[in-house]
A and B are shown apart, each in its own frame.
Chain A
Amino acid sequence: MLRTSILACLLALSTAVPALAQTMAPSIEQPVTITFYNYNLAAAGLGAEATQKLINEFMAANPNVTVTGVPYGSADGSRIQADLAAGLPVDVVQTVFSDLDFSVTNFGAQALEDIVPAGEIATHLQGMHPNGTKLGVLNGKTYGLAYTFSTPVLFYNADLFRAAGLDPDNPPKTWADVKSAALAVEEKTDAEGFTAGITGPSAVDWLFQGVVRSNNGEVISRDRKTLKFAEPEAIEAVAMLRDLYDAGVYENYDFAGAVDGMASGNLAMYLQTSALQGSLVAGANGNYELRSSTMPRFADKPTRPNNSGSALTIHTTDPLKQRAAWELMKFLTSEHGYTIITSEIGYLPLRPAIVTDPKYLAGWIADHPLVAPNLEQLDRLEPWDPMPGANYRQIVKTMMDAVEMSIFGGADVATTLADAQANAQALMP
């Protein structure tokens, strides 16, 4: 009797111990501090203010939890790397989607399925757009919940459209339309016709992935083992962009030149993340009419836009901190969280219902029609695939250098991409 109960106890313990190590604490009964590495906090302005506001609201609602916001630069994760190396706690991170693979294999991002009770995940994901929740899925597990993200939008200057004899109510739908509209602008006005944030130092490869996919190609195979950006569909997509450049309508801007060109009214069309909206509106205000449309398609193929931006990832292995991190994650991706993110930071709501709900975003959306193409594309949204392995950044750079040479450098598209693909494939794990 005694023996069996001891045995039962031991058995219970032995099963309980791994369970405890895996599953987070059921609730927060004692004060706990977690760190939140966030790149919006590294910039001044609305993003930082809204982020801090959300953090403060969360702490008010959860008095036992203290959230320390740590700013870091999204362009390089060296702060996170350095802090992990120094043994400092890195608990929750706003992770750029292209860094997700590296973050999982190196920074210890935890799969939600491993640490959160299944029922809680299901409850929280209810009401989220299924296209949105799959963005943070890697190898079948959810490592991140989409946090601040957006889709490619074709911004256009309605005044320049009118000056060029184009109909601003009927923006270009295909790449051929883009070309003819841009030609008209170049001919009739002093402005430039078109540019896109496909290449350039801060572009990474997100928009390129969307453009290639919209031509039914891929830059990397679904199992993320083989690079495919030198396959015919991708070559065709790059050749199309090259044709735009050769026709003199695709302006190759320097670094920040495109944003300022658009903001100052010297550029008619700009395909870029909707996250730019704030800067563009500030320049357009009182100068010209800024409008937006969905990304252009290849002839009759439907577009397959993907996202830019970030997901939230949990890195802590402490059960209590995991609970606090999960509560923070839930709060930030709640109806209220996405309302703030959309209206004050300028990204997209992952919960479609709040768009028409007057309690949340309905009023704001009515006042901000520019965000409409974004919402429309949510239904066709596909993930921004992160490159795998330790050399993922070098892979992206090699690929994008070749794309730039092919579009603007006069290099032969097929051979340039094939060379780069061979070089980059050698860097794959």
Chain B
Amino acid sequence: MTIDVIARPARARPVTLRRISNRSGLNTAAGHLLMVLLSIFCLFPVYWMLVSSFRPANTLFETSLWPTQPSLDNYTRAVDAIPIARMLINTLVFSAVSTVFQLLTGILAAFAFARWKFPFDKLVYTGVALTWLVPFQVVMIPNYLLIAQMGLLDSVLALILPNIAAALAIMLLAQAMRGFPKEVIEAARMDGASNWRVLWEVLVPNLRGTIASLAILIFISTWNEYFWPLLLSRTAENSVIQIGIQMFMTAEGNQWGPLMAASTLASLPVLVIYVVLQRQVVQSFMKSGIR
């Protein structure tokens, strides 16, 4: 007994270690199981969209996991019916430019909120936040009239203009900048760097992770925007892909096949951009981890 007790400390260590790793192994397995279930929940509808886009009209409602008579019929019909390539390019320009501008205006505004205390700063910040609560439908027609006065109807520029600043970007960036260590900023200021240089040479590079995540979010939400382009677009050639997708949905029933084909084509570019940017996000996380 006594020997055991005395001997235990020496041996206990590896035992507990193994036990922990065993238990955490079980934990990991349970965790992975949950994550796999969650992944199925997330992916299956997307898979269903993809599969359905290959089902011809009369087997559209079958429930097999794989199309029994796969065909490209829906794709040819979708491509014939709407100028998909043109629409994708328009959407890409619209989303990319909006993203860049929202990030730019967001970074500048967020810096003002994070760097200085100034009169009415809380009020202005609240004002920015409150723009979220303005239903888009109420500003839609006044904005349309403004665009008409500017002579910009039916152009991609008109799509972009109201989208060059957004509350989400400003607020998320302000939050990230407020969380940034003040000493680093002060140190840079001591070295004689101007606010402008502090922003672009210290803050922005360090917030790359947040900025990249935000870029993804802005890009996707602009990509999926619908109401504003609907009011604005007068010709399919100057319109965006969401309008193209909706063109297959009518009061007289939806053309599911081409709808799924068009949606698949519309989702692919975003998926690619996400995968590319995701790598960028991860890398910047790792960099900030090393620092």
Which residues on A are within 8 Å of B, measured CB to CB?
42-45, 47-48, 70-71, 73-75, 78-79, 81-82, 85-88, 202, 256, 259-260, 263-265, 273, 275-276, 278-280, 282-287, 346
Contacts of B229 in A (CB 8 A): none
Interface segment among B5-13, B53-61, B101-109, B128-136: the answer is B53-61
Q: Do the beta carbons of A282 and B247 come within 8 Å of each other?
A: no
| A71-B234, A260-B61 given; A279·B252 CB < 8 A | yes
Chain A residues with Cβ under 8 A from B230's Cβ? Answer: 73
Q: Tell me whether B61 and A283 are in contact (CB under 8 A).
A: yes
Q: Chain A nearest CB: distance from B142 CB in Å? A: 9
- The total of interchain contacts (Cβ-Cβ below 8 angstroms) comes to 82
- Contact A82:B144 (CB < 8 A) given known A45-B81, A70-B234, A73-B230: yes
A202 and B248 contact, Cβ closer than 8 Å, known pairs A285-B57, A285-B58: no
C-alpha gap A273/B60 in the complex (Å): 23
Contacts of B72 in A (CB 8 A): none
Subset of 21 A-B contacts with CB under 8 Å: A43-B250, A44-B78, A44-B82, A71-B236, A74-B251, A81-B141, A85-B145, A86-B145, A86-B149, A256-B253, A256-B254, A264-B61, A273-B252, A279-B252, A282-B57, A283-B58, A283-B60, A284-B58, A285-B57, A285-B58, A286-B58
Q: Is B209 in the interface zone, CB < 8 Å from A?
A: no
Which of A47, A85, A260, A282 neighbours the largest number of chain B CB atoms within 10 Å of its CB? A282
Contacting pair A45 B145 (CB below 8 A) = no
B253 lies within 8 A of A259 (CB): yes
Give every chain A residue within 8 A of B144 (Cβ-Cβ).
Answer: 82, 86
Given that A45-B248, A79-B231, A263-B61 are known contacts, is A87 also in contact with B148, CB under 8 Å in the complex?
A: yes
**B247 and A85: CB pair below 8 A?**
no
Given contacts A73-B230, A283-B61, contact A263 B253 (CB under 8 A): yes
Residues of B within 8 A of A (CB): 57-58, 60-61, 78, 81-82, 140-141, 144-145, 148-149, 153, 230-231, 234, 236, 244, 247-256, 258
List of B residues within 8 angstroms of A284 by Cβ: 58
Enumerate chain B residues within 8 angstroms of A276, measured Cβ to Cβ.
Answer: 252-253
Q: How far is the CA of A313 from the CA of B252 in the complex (A)?
A: 22
Residues in B neighbouring A82, C-beta threshold 8 A: 141, 144-145, 231
A residues less than 8 Å from B148 (CB atoms)? 86-88
Instruction: Name the residue of chain B whose CB is nearest to the CB of A35.
Output: B234
For B253, what are the chain A residues with a Cβ–Cβ distance below 8 Å?
A: 256, 259, 263, 276, 278-280
Q: Given A44-B247, A78-B141, 15 other A-B contacts at CB below 8 A?
A: A43-B248, A43-B249, A44-B81, A44-B255, A45-B250, A48-B247, A71-B234, A85-B145, A86-B149, A87-B148, A259-B254, A264-B61, A265-B61, A282-B57, A282-B58
With a CB–CB cut-off of 8 A, which chain A residues contact B231?
A: 78-79, 82
Chain B residues, Cβ within 8 Å of A44: 78, 81-82, 244, 247-248, 255, 258
The 4 A-B residue pairs with the shortest CB-CB distance in the complex, in nearest-first order: A279-B253, A86-B148, A44-B81, A264-B61
Min CB distance A256 to B, Å, is 6
Q: Specify the chain A residue showing the minimal Cβ separation from B78.
A: A44
Q: How far is the CB of B291 from chain A (nearest CB, A)?
A: 51
Give Cα A74–Cα B248 distance, bound, in whole angstroms. 14
Decide if B252 touches A278 in the complex (CB within 8 Å): yes
| C-alpha spacing A44/B244, complex, angstroms | 8
Report the separation of the CA atoms of residues A282 and B74 in the bound assembly, to the nearest whole angstrom. Answer: 13
CA distance A340 to B60 in the complex (A): 28
Q: A78-B141, A287-B58 given as contacts; is B251 within 8 A of A45 (CB)? A: no
**What residue in chain A is nearest B57 (Cβ atoms)?**
A282
A275 & B258 in contact (Cβ 8 Å cutoff)? no
Query: Which one of A70, A263, A276, A285 has the highest number of Cβ atoms from chain B below 10 Å of its Cβ?
Result: A263
Q: Shortest beta-carbon distance, B8 to chain A, in Å?
A: 66
Q: How far is the CB of B5 from chain A (nearest CB, A)?
A: 70
**Is A43 within 8 A of B247, CB to CB?**
yes
- List the B side residues contacting A73 at CB < 8 Å: 230
Q: Which residues of B contact A280 (CB under 8 A)?
A: 253
Closest to B61 in A: A264
For the complex, what is the distance from the CA of A256 to the CA of B259, rounded to whole Å? 14
Residue on B nearest A150 in the bound complex, by CB:
B252
Query: CB-CB < 8 A to B250: which residues of A?
Result: 43, 45, 47
- Residue from the set B61, B230, B234, B252 with the largest chain A CB neighbour count within 10 Å: B252
Instruction: Answer whether A275 and B252 are a contact pair too, CB < 8 Å, given A42-B247, A43-B247.
Output: yes
Q: How far is the CB of B264 from chain A (nearest CB, A)?
A: 16
- Closest residue of chain A to B60 (Cβ to Cβ) is A283
Q: Which residues of A contact B81 (CB under 8 A)?
A: 44-45, 48
Residues of B contacting A75 with CB < 8 Å? 251
Q: Among the interface residues B231, B234, B256, which one has the most CB atoms of the partner chain A within 10 A? A: B234
Contacts of B234 in A (CB 8 A): 70-71
Q: Which residues of A contact B249 (CB under 8 A)?
A: 43
> Whole-angstrom distance between the alpha carbons of A36 and B237 in the complex?
18
B-chain residues with CB within 8 Å of residue A86 when the two chains form the complex: 144-145, 148-149, 153
A338 to chain B, nearest CB (A): 18
**Chain A hits for B78, CB < 8 A:** 44
CB-CB under 8 A from A45, the residues of chain B are: 81, 247-248, 250, 255, 258
CB distance from A44 to the nearest CB of B (A): 4
Residue numbers in B under 8 Å from A43 (CB-CB) = 247-250
With a cutoff of 8 Å between Cβ atoms, the chain A residues found around residue B251 in the complex are 74-75, 202
* B141 to A: closest C-beta gap in Å: 5
Q: Which residues of B contact A346 (CB under 8 A)?
A: 252
Closest CB in chain A relative to B235 CB, distance in Å: 8
Instruction: Give Cα A264–Cα B247 distance, bound, in whole angstroms.
Output: 22
Cβ of B141: which chain A residues have Cβ within 8 Å of it?
A: 78, 81-82, 85
Q: What is the bound-complex CA distance between A160 and B253, given in angstroms?
A: 22
Bound form: Cα–Cα A276–B250 in Å: 10
Cβ of A283: which chain B residues have Cβ within 8 Å of it? Answer: 57-58, 60-61
